[in-house]
Amino acid sequence: MSRPRLSIIGAGKFGMVLARAAVEAGYDTVLARSGDSADIEMMVDILAPGAKAVTLADAIAHAHLIILAVPTTRFRELSQDAFAGKVLVDTMNYWAITDGNLPEFAEKPAETSRVVQRYFASAKVVKSLNQLGYHQFRDERRAAGTSGRIAMAAAGDDREAVKSVLYLIDALGFDPIDAGPLAAGAALGPGGPGFGVVQTRDELLETLGLAAPAA
């Protein structure tokens, strides 16, 4: 039986932590960044053993589910049709103090993922995996059914795309929550009620104002 595949675009601290978690969850995981993949091979071997450093083109071809974990200022360096037909998980958080003034983000901070969706119009964008810092993500992972397991949400307009991300969240060690359409992703980013909170499923549902799914 083949393993599920995952591609991560971005080889920063979060990308590495995510890759390690994905490998441990059984995903066939690759990482890419701009430039020569050989530049990050040693880092991947040390920080995310079992994952593989590849070119951007190979990462895009590798999986249907792709994590975008690049600085907010750099996503437009990628081709607009790079992720056509793919599920693209937007993990980016806009911080004016480090990212500078990006009018589309600064003027309507609640619509950052809509900006990303408009740019990658042929992809299925889901906002998720951005609630916690990389250290929290690394430290809070727990097996399914563990008491006090932390929850993480996903928001997107394509319902099948959201389902695939919810499955990933569970596999990575968090209780998954469907936050609704892509616009609801604003609640998961800076300034939103779900950002930076370490809460159980019931607590996060309450924080986000969501009803628990029917049994």
| Distance in angstroms (rounded) separating the CA atoms of residues 146 and 132 | 19
Residue 78: pLDDT over 70: yes
Q: What is the pLDDT of residue 99?
A: 75
Q: Is 19 exposed, middle or buried, given 0-12, 13-18 or 19+ CB atoms closer than 10 A?
A: buried
Region 167-196 average pLDDT: 94
pLDDT at 95 over 90: no
- 174: helix, strand or coil: coil
% of the chain beyond a pLDDT of 70: 96
By the 8 A CB rule, do 115 and 78 touch? no
Per-residue pLDDT reduced to its tens digit, 123-178: 999 999 999 988 999 999 999 999 999 999 999 999 999 999 999 999 999 999 99
Say how far residue 86 (Cα) sits from the centre of its chain: 14
The widest CA-to-CA distance across the chain, in whole angstroms, is 49
Cα separation, 184 vs 110, in Å, equals 8
Element (H, E) at 6: strand 5-9
- Tell me the mean pLDDT in the region 27-46: 87
Task: For residue 105, give the 3-state DSSP assignment.
Answer: helix
What's residue 1's pLDDT?
65
